[in-house]
């Protein structure tokens, strides 16, 4: 699996290259600036891009904008964005086209090798990997004034958060130590209470939940 990596801090970039190679990824390019990322994504056509939001020369959201530009040129290009802080605006922009193969992780997650690599693989396969802190902030913002969300039970809220992170029913069941049948019942209840179309497609249901949670900001 070929990866284009963009990170301006040398030590972190080098560490990510070594980590990904150790798990069998091929590093097509490891770059440190927006212009380099633009060229790499256009010329190398990687299987997945792992991109720091803030890159030179602007050090604002150049990495994200390069990734979005590449996704417009090549719809569905899998992109995992890394950020130092929770920026809900970045998450919204990444999810705006409604297609899968997207992820948003805080850089702290990089230090958990298995969690990070799992996120890269999930995104590369067309799935969604959202940082738990992003989901928690979206949930917290909606719980205060959103009647449908207030109808969810505490267990359903737990399932919703794990679902929005991109976890399958089997993974949710393992995490909560319940049966898959119980999780399926909870997810059906969640979709019914939120007025969302029921879907067996993990990625489509994640996008639906995230769209709901982020609606009306």
pTM assigned to the model: 0.79
The DSSP bridge partners found for residue 104 are 81, 130
| Terminal C-alpha separation, the chain | 37
Domains 2-130 and 134-214 share a fold: yes
pLDDT digits 0-9 by tens, 95-141: 777 677 999 899 988 888 998 999 999 999 988 888 888 777 777 76
Q: What is the CATH number of domain 134-214?
A: 3.40.50.2300
**CA–CA dist 216, 172 (Å, integer):** 28
CA 136 to chain centre: 14
Q: Where do the domains of the chain lie?
A: 2-130, 134-214
pLDDT digits 0-9 by tens, 1-42: 999 999 999 999 999 999 999 999 999 999 999 999 999 999
Spatial CA neighbour of 1 closest among 42, 36, 50: 50
CB-CB neighbours of 130 under 10 Å: 23
Q: Are 202 and 126 in contact (CB under 8 A)?
A: no
Average pLDDT on 70-85 reads: 91
Architecture of the domain delimited by 2-130: 3-Layer(aba) Sandwich (3.40)
Q: Is there a cis peptide before residue 57, judged by omega within 30 degrees of 0? A: yes
Answer yes or no: is pLDDT of 216 > 50.
no
165 DSSP 8-state letter: T
**CA–CA dist 184, 187 (Å, integer):** 5
**CA–CA dist 62, 69 (Å, integer):** 10
């Amino acid at each position: 699996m070929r990866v284009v990596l963009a990170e301006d801090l040398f030590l972190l970039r080098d560490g990510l290259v070594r980590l990904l190679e150790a798990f069998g990824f091929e590093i097509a390019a490891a770059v440190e600036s927006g212009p380099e990322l633009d060229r790499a994504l256009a010329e190398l056509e990687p299987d997945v891009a792992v991109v720091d939001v803030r890159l030179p020369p602007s050090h604002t959201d150049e990495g994200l904008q390069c990734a979005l530009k590449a996704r417009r040129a090549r719809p569905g290009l899998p992109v995992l964005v890394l950020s130092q802080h929770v920026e809900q605006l970045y998450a919204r922009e990444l999810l705006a086209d409604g297609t899968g193969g997207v992820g948003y992780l805080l850089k702290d997650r990089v230090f958990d090798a298995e969690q990070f690599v799992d996120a890269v693989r999930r995104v590369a396969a067309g799935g969604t990997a959202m940082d738990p802190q992003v989901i928690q902030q979206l949930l917290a913002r909606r719980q205060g004034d959103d009647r449908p969300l207030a109808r969810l039970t505490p267990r359903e809220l737990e399932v919703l958060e794990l679902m929005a992170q991109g976890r399958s029913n089997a993974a949710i069941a393992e995490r909560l130590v319940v049966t898959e049948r119980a999780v399926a019942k909870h997810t059906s209840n969640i979709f019914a209470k939120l007025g969302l179309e029921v879907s067996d497609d993990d990625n489509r249901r994640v996008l639906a939940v995230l769209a709901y949670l982020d609606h009306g900001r």
